[in-house]
Copies of this chain bind each other. A is one copy, B any other.
Amino acid sequence: MSEFVFDRIALIGFGLIGSSIARAARAKGVVREISGTARSEKTRARVRELGIADKVAETPAQAVEGAELVIVCVPVGASGAIAREIAPHLAPGAIVTDVGSVKSSVIADMEPHIPDGCFLVPGHPIAGTEQSGPDAGFAELFTNRWCILTPGEKASPEAVEKLTRFWQALGSDVEIMEAGHHDLVLAITSHIPHLIAYNIVGTVADLEADTRSEVIKYSASGFRDFTRIAASDPAMWRDVFLANKDAVLEMLGRFSEDLSGLQRAIRRGDSETLEELFTRTRDVRRKVIDAGQETAEPDFGRIRAISPETD
């Protein structure tokens, strides 16, 4: 099928997500033309070198001209300012969306700026790696991953339907959700795991130098897995925690209560409580694998990847 879902789209921001959208939209023939911009001249130059956009503009205002779909791919704290900046330049009937990990704050920040006759359909592709920047993107990032849309008052059924087709054409499975509910689910699914990973890596960074280097040396025993998550983009995550403060603090409260319970069980030598929990958590792992969100392959082939010389 050679019909484009959109004729022209504009990307504001070319990090991991923005540059992956550009690559995927082109590779899969989803749009005719991609224009875009990035805040830094360095990134704009790199996007030109990579050739992943048809037109690289100097400003968001120039980038959105004539675009049927505008995708804002910046840290969530910057989405309001971008909306204000592009609003007067949007084509009539344009759909505006974003890719941020928090949705209530994005609606609150962007919606007031969207002019009548244009539509806002916030979105969140649940996809990513710990790497960032225009070189980190790749066309298959969204394949078989979820994309959640959280339409608010400035959405229309037609805009939601068309954006759904766009994400499906990129390979995603699309779900519609209320913004506040999205933020609560993602707080425990994504935000708290990142916060905890950042925290323990920070605890290690504060150890005396000799102990710290030993922790790194023996990190394959568990710590390693946390360092991957804690290598994610700092500005993006700073914004996530501030924008989703209420849900994050609520879920962090539950986590801390549970941890205090575990601490007490260890102090008292309560082996039954420990074994009961550790058995129960195995079941959750099975459900994650059953849900197709993970492979059952142990350790993701790291052993082979790290030891190329083994046969």
Contacts and interface: CB of A to CB of B under 8 A. Distances in A.
A282 B235 CA distance: 12
A58 to B, nearest CB: 27
Contact of A230 (B207, B284, B302): B284
A10 interface: no
Given A185-B211, A221-B126, A271-B242, A227 B294 contact: yes
Contacts of A232: 278
Nearest to A196: B196
Contacts of A242: 266, 269, 271, 274
State the number of copies, please: 2
Interface string A202-214: 1111110001001
B200 A193 contact: yes
Contacts of A127: 220
Given A249-B267, A307-B140, A218 B186 contact: yes
Interface in A257-311: 258-259, 262-263, 266-267, 269, 271, 274-275, 277-288, 291-295, 297-303, 305-307, 310
Nearest to A296: B131
Contacts of A292: 306
A282 B234 contact: yes
Interface string A182-224: 0011101111111111111111111100010011111111111
Contact of A190 (B202, B223, B266, B282): B223
Contacts of A238: 271, 274-275, 278
A141 B280 CA distance: 27
Interface of A: 101, 126-131, 136, 140-141, 143-146, 148, 171, 184-186, 188-207, 211, 214-232, 234-235, 237-238, 241-242, 245, 248-249, 251-252, 254-256, 258-259, 262-263, 266-267, 269, 271, 274-275, 277-288, 291-295, 297-303, 305-307, 310
A197 B285 CA distance: 11
A201 B284 contact: yes
Given A267-B249, A269-B245, A222 B278 contact: no
A28 to B, nearest CB: 11
B199 A259 contact: yes
Given A189-B223, A199-B255, A284-B216, A302 B298 contact: no
B248 A266 contact: yes
Contact of A245 (B191, B218, B267): B267
